[in-house]
Amino acid sequence: MAVIDYMMPGMDGFELAEAIKKDPHLAGVTMIMLTSVGQRGHAARCQELGFSAYLLKPINSQELLDTISAALLETTPGYTRQGILTRHSIRESKHRFKILLAEDNPVNQRLAVRMLQKMGHIVSVAHNGRQALQAVEDEQFDLVLMDIQMPELDGLESTAAIREKEKPSGRHIPIIAMTAHAMTGDRERFLQAGMDGYVSKPINVNELSETIMHLMMNG
């Protein structure tokens, strides 16, 4: 990654970016523009030159960190960029998460994927508990949406296995249970199994969104 100032002697930030993009060894570098002069057309020019972000100085360390995270997120396979990152879009992107959906029913899968993507999240799908287990080992997710009834390994068994694997590291990935047949005491059973929240099926978009935000904002 290159964090590039605009005003520099000899070669300005735009010229540097052009040179970087022309060099085959550097062309894949993620570039962030930092400038103290906000001029008309600069953001558009930055986008043309392949910058991931355009930020006006002064910025604080948290903003820089958030920008770097957001820019790196764009390098995730399958991610489609929605314009250049700015202070405004980064503030919004703090509510965007990488979510693993573990669901065996294709209809529910499509429905949930569409809902989550509409909320701005990045979604990967596991078709059963075993795949879910593999996925959280291979990749880092912010959250798991876990169907309870699944072949191979069900939601409770998968959650137990994930929690067991997390023990040495002390990590705890939030897991939300999904089930159509919620009975009294189920919620307690899910929480006891190591899950952090619960949504009923058919999934209601507001309930899902609130449960995700509640978990991600309050830990």
SS3 42: helix
Q: Which residues are within 8 A (CB) of 138 and not within 5 positions of it... i.e. 6 or more apart?
A: none
> Considering only residues 89-128, where is the footprint of Mn ion by CB under 5 A?
104
Cβ nearer to Mn ion, comparing 89 with 108: 108
With CB under 5 A, what is the number of residues at the site for Mn ion?
4
> Considering only residues 14-53, where is the footprint of Mn ion by CB under 5 A?
none
Residue 166: is it exposed, middle or buried by C-beta count within 10 angstroms (0-12/13-18/19+)?
middle
Run of H or E residues at 92: helix 87-93
Instruction: Name the minimum Å distance from CB 179 to Mn ion.
Output: 8
Residue 195: is it exposed, middle or buried by C-beta count within 10 angstroms (0-12/13-18/19+)?
buried
Instruction: Name the minimum Å distance from CB 125 to Mn ion.
Output: 13
- The verdict on 152 binding Mn ion (CB under 5 A) reads no
Instruction: Name the minimum Å distance from CB 156 to Mn ion.
Output: 12
Instruction: Name the minimum Å distance from CB 178 to Mn ion.
Output: 8
- The verdict on 147 binding Mn ion (CB under 5 A) reads yes
- The verdict on 149 binding Mn ion (CB under 5 A) reads yes
> To 5 degrees, how large is the angle CA 66–CA 199–CA 95?
10
Contact positions vs Mn ion (CB under 5 A) = 104, 147, 149-150
